[in-house]
Chains A and B, each alone.
Chain A
Amino acid sequence: MTPASIVAAQSLAALLRERTVLLIAGIFTAMVLVSAWMGWSATATVNGIYADAVIYLQSIGQPVPANPLGQTSALGVLRNLTVYVSLIGTFAAIVTGQRLIEADRRAGVLPLIAARPPARMTYVAGKMQALALATAALVTLAAVISGLTLVLLPAIAVTAGEWLRLGGFFLLSWAYVTLFGMVALGAAARIPATAGGLLAATILWLAVTFVLPALTGNVNPTAAINPISALVATPETPVFTILGTVLGPVSLSEAYAYLAAGLMGYLPAGLVPRGVVPPFLSLIVLVAAALVFALRSGLALDPNAGGPDA
């Protein structure tokens, strides 16, 4: 094992013993199950109505139209997943990122680690590796539940292309939640106060999820997390046009919703993203920025600050 892997393995083992992290991961999994059930329930209802309609239309000699479910994207039944990724997935990543540093600080082991041969870069790399693996595990769990839902749902045939796009959606979700985790990890490294890192990352998350969509597209907070109502065109007023252009590239939750809708096949026809930067590029740049922030903050981590007696 490399020193970074040793740090990562220890960090993951510590996370598995953290009640808070496990609780939030459990809630996320439960909500993914709810999302799957809602998709299954909606499909079953439509299928039931369609079956009754077929019997009736045949009895009166009328032509039977195709099942409406066949006209829409099969992946659309999982659209509620974007809500849970945006809300609970990101928050789980934030708590995980913060705990990865804070747990070591509270345990008073930072000086013990820093007084050993591995360089600070190795420690930070190990922590970032642990975070990426933890969020990957969370998203993989959601992917497995979603995949099983699609396989078990009657009347939904998922094509190979749709499976690929579903994979792309979970890759996108992993990058999105990990971004917030990295910000929390970096903030926890920079701010020795116990709640400081958590608060800083949470405020950023709140701003990105609720405030920016309101400024760029007049999307109210509740609509901002709705996979359908969040996807609206920029209001045609000078203020929103300017704000949409300026803030659009950093309005992460909107970029995520836009890309997720595109991958899942429910993006409204003709809807253009805000700003001049394509959402995919925005996301790539901001993920890279979060990684750099986490790395630089980790390197600046003071092993003597804070700690169990602070």
Chain B
Amino acid sequence: MTTTTPAIVTRDLTKSYGAATILHPLTITIPRGEVFGFLGHNGAGKTTTIRLLTTLLAPSAGQASVAGHDLATDPMALRAAIGYLPENVRLYDRFTTQENLVFFGRLSGLSDVEDRVADTLAFLGIEALADRRVGTFSKGMRQRVGLAQAILHRPELLFLDEPTSGLDPMGVRLLREIVARLHASGMTIFMNTHLLSEVALTCTSIGVLAQGRLVYHDRMEAVTAKYGDERALEDLYLGVGLSEVTA
């Protein structure tokens, strides 16, 4: 694997449950260093895609390579190279932030786990939460601790599933700043969202998923050049999505 290997390559990646196809053959390449915004209505198949790429679900057909590791043949190395923050992360309520992170750090095979936890908490500006029980946290605080467990082992590629869901405006802004800093550090980020404002402010490329089909994929500069401001992006999103829904 080289640093020129794309972060994600999928070919006809498909997920079906019986006769119902949740994700139609998805073929996409996402280069390293991108902040990829994966847009789509609720139920479009965004979470299914993330679960497939993080090995939480087995594909029905197709192939994928994540961080240079094949999904089917090298899942352990793949997992070691990624971080994952699911929507509505909870963690162990009766444990402190520190205890939660030490556990996940050890599972990731970190030998210097205490130092990594301290560094990660400092990076996210949540040192004060270290010795507090997670069960007492607000949604925003949990989200940041959840993000801490996702980046604790310095993954090459970070998957965020609706990271701003349920956050107040301050929480959304904080998360945006953190994503920007992670991107600046060289991390590739794959972010599911349906918040267009976040995409416009954060992402370097976008894909639009409608009813399990990738219906649009381009770099953000191209989107901006073609559609102009955020309102035009909204028109693109709704137009592409709705035309699929009503097709």
Are B107 and A116 touching (Cβ within 8 A)? yes
Q: How many Å lie between the Cα of A13 and that of B98 in the bound state?
A: 14
Closest residue of chain A to B159 (Cβ to Cβ) is: A115
Are A115 and B76 touching (Cβ within 8 A)? no
Q: How many Å lie between the Cα of A81 and that of B99 in the bound state?
A: 38
Closest 8 interchain pairs by CB? A108-B90, A17-B94, A115-B84, A117-B80, A115-B54, A6-B106, A116-B107, A308-B90
Q: Residues of B contacting A304 with CB < 8 Å?
A: 51, 56-57
- A41 contacts partner chain B, Cβ-Cβ < 8 Å: no
List 16 other contacts, CB 8 Å, given A112-B104, A116-B80. Answer: A14-B94, A14-B95, A17-B94, A108-B90, A111-B54, A111-B84, A112-B91, A113-B107, A114-B55, A114-B56, A115-B54, A115-B56, A116-B107, A118-B107, A304-B51, A308-B88
Are B106 and A117 touching (Cβ within 8 A)? no
Chain A 103-141 near chain B by CB (<8 Å), digits 1 or 0: 100111101111111110000000000000000000000
- B227 contacts partner chain A, Cβ-Cβ < 8 Å: no
Indicate whether A117 sits within 8 Å of B108 (C-beta atoms), given known contacts A111-B56, A304-B51, A304-B56. Answer: yes
Q: How far is the CB of B162 from chain A (nearest CB, A)?
A: 12
Count, chain B residues at interface, CB 8 A:
28
- Chain A contacts with B in 261-310, Cβ cutoff 8 A: 303-304, 308-309
Are B94 and A115 touching (Cβ within 8 A)? no
A-B contact pairs, 25 of them (CB 8 A): A1-B106, A3-B107, A10-B103, A14-B94, A14-B95, A17-B95, A103-B92, A106-B90, A107-B90, A108-B88, A108-B89, A108-B90, A109-B91, A112-B91, A112-B104, A112-B149, A115-B54, A115-B56, A117-B80, A117-B107, A117-B109, A119-B76, A304-B51, A304-B56, A309-B88
Q: Residues of B contacting A7 with CB < 8 Å?
A: 107
Are A112 and B84 touching (Cβ within 8 A)? yes
Closest residue of chain A to B86 (Cβ to Cβ) is: A111
- B115 contacts partner chain A, Cβ-Cβ < 8 Å: no
- B46 contacts partner chain A, Cβ-Cβ < 8 Å: no
Closest residue of chain B to A308 (Cβ to Cβ) is: B90
Indicate whether A14 sits within 8 Å of B92 (C-beta atoms), given known contacts A115-B82, A117-B80. Answer: yes
Q: How many Å lie between the Cα of A17 and that of B51 in the bound state?
A: 31
Are B86 and A117 touching (Cβ within 8 A)? no
Q: Residues of B contacting A103 with CB < 8 Å?
A: 92
Q: How far is the CB of B12 from chain A (nearest CB, A)?
A: 22
Chain A 85-111 near chain B by CB (<8 Å), digits 1 or 0: 000000000000000000100111101
Q: How many Å lie between the Cα of A116 and that of B104 in the bound state?
A: 8
Q: Residues of A contacting B79 with CB < 8 Å?
A: 115-117
Q: How many Å lie between the Cα of A253 and that of B86 in the bound state?
A: 44
- B235 contacts partner chain A, Cβ-Cβ < 8 Å: no
Q: How many Å lie between the Cα of A9 and that of B76 in the bound state?
A: 22
Most chain B CB inside 10 Å of its own CB: which residue of A3, A6, A119, A309: A6
Most chain A CB inside 10 Å of its own CB: which residue of B76, B99, B103: B103
Q: Residues of B contacting A1 with CB < 8 Å?
A: 106
Q: Residues of A contacting B88 with CB < 8 Å?
A: 108, 308-309
- Chain B contacts with A in 23-74, Cβ cutoff 8 A: 51, 54-57
Are A109 and B107 touching (Cβ within 8 A)? no
Q: Residues of A contacting B108 with CB < 8 Å?
A: 116-117
Q: Residues of B contacting A115 with CB < 8 Å?
A: 54-56, 79, 82, 84
Q: How many Å lie between the Cα of A178 and that of B73 in the bound state?
A: 36
Closest residue of chain B to A106 (Cβ to Cβ) is: B90
Closest residue of chain A to B57 (Cβ to Cβ) is: A304
Q: Residues of A contacting B106 with CB < 8 Å?
A: 1, 6
Q: How many Å lie between the Cα of A111 and that of B79 in the bound state?
A: 12
- Chain A contacts with B in 12-33, Cβ cutoff 8 A: 13-14, 17
Q: Residues of A contacting B99 with CB < 8 Å?
A: 13
Are B107 and A108 touching (Cβ within 8 A)? no
Q: Residues of A contacting B86 with CB < 8 Å?
A: 108, 111-112
Q: How many Å lie between the Cα of A119 and that of B75 in the bound state?
A: 9
Q: How far is the CB of A105 from chain B (nearest CB, A)?
A: 10
Q: Residues of B contacting A108 with CB < 8 Å?
A: 86, 88-91
- B119 contacts partner chain A, Cβ-Cβ < 8 Å: no
Q: How many Å lie between the Cα of A116 and that of B107 in the bound state?
A: 7
- B229 contacts partner chain A, Cβ-Cβ < 8 Å: no
Closest residue of chain B to A10 (Cβ to Cβ) is: B103
Q: Residues of A contacting B149 with CB < 8 Å?
A: 112
- B93 contacts partner chain A, Cβ-Cβ < 8 Å: yes
Q: How many Å lie between the Cα of A165 and that of B29 in the bound state?
A: 67
Q: How many Å lie between the Cα of A221 and that of B34 in the bound state?
A: 67
Most chain A CB inside 10 Å of its own CB: which residue of B55, B91, B92: B92
Most chain B CB inside 10 Å of its own CB: which residue of A10, A14, A106, A118: A10
Q: Residues of A contacting B90 with CB < 8 Å?
A: 106-109, 308
Most chain A CB inside 10 Å of its own CB: which residue of B86, B89, B104: B86
Q: Residues of B contacting A107 with CB < 8 Å?
A: 90-93
